[in-house]
Amino acid sequence: MKIRRSVLLTFEVDTDAWAAEYDIAPTTAGADFDTSLINAAPELAEMVSKGWPAVRDLVAVSSSAPLTENTLPDALDAAGLDLWQVRTALRRRHEAECAGVAVEALRGWLATEDHGGRVPRYVIVASDSWDDQYILSASALTVVYEDGTEVSNLHVDQYPGEERYGATLHNALTRGWGAVQPLTALAFDLKTGEVSEQQDERDLRESLGLRPTD
């Protein structure tokens, strides 16, 4: 016979201190902490196992790896599914809040630039290799204008006075999406504030009705 017992742990965090520690906006600190706590579940389980040898190898954390509808274990029960749903909801909320921060940084940066009378509509952010993984890079952006023209390989902080926009955008991208697949790309809609994501920039452009890359 097997039994399952769950323990509820409550954490209290100062969101202002958390925001200062990780250099993010205080408005995103709560969601960022939620995601960090869930991602830390395996480490918490390991700490319990080490501190209480009698339950070593008996502690299971169903959120210890990224789960999708296609990879959910067959044995995942209703409680586990609820945890997966909570994690998914928290992740989506966290990404939405980080996307809002990123859009405001992009709008602020673009307001300092001369666009020759054109109106920026999208900013496409591509992935780049860093420390043996891929992250969304704030160093090679593509601005797509409402008339369909584009300017590529732009750096947010390539001119003096723009550092604050670059730092804010970088933090929003890394805190919101972390490591991504090699060809992942995002498009921030500067008009609506929405963000689109695809595993390949070609698919992203097609979904937005933009011309394909050369």
How far apart are alpha carbons 117 and 181 in whole angstroms?
Answer: 36
- Rg of the chain in Å (alpha carbons): 20
- Look-up: residue for tokens 């673009």? 110
User: Which amino acid is it at 66?
Assistant: P
Say how many residues make up the chain. 214
- Residue at 89: amino acid letter: A
Q: Measuring CA to CA, which residue among 177, 176, 126 is closest to residue 153? A: 126
Integer Cα distance of 89 and 84 in angstroms:
9
| 61-117 confidence digits (pLDDT tens) | 444 344 344 444 443 444 444 555 656 666 777 788 889 999 999 999 999 888 999
Strand order in the sheet with 185-189: 150-154, 133-145, 120-130, 185-189, 195-198
The confidence score (pLDDT) of residue 78 equals 43
Tell which residue, 16, 25, 163, has the closest CA to residue 101.
25
The predicted pLDDT at position 120 comes to 95
Q: What is the distance between the alpha carbons of residues 99 and 188, in angstroms, rounded to a whole number?
A: 8
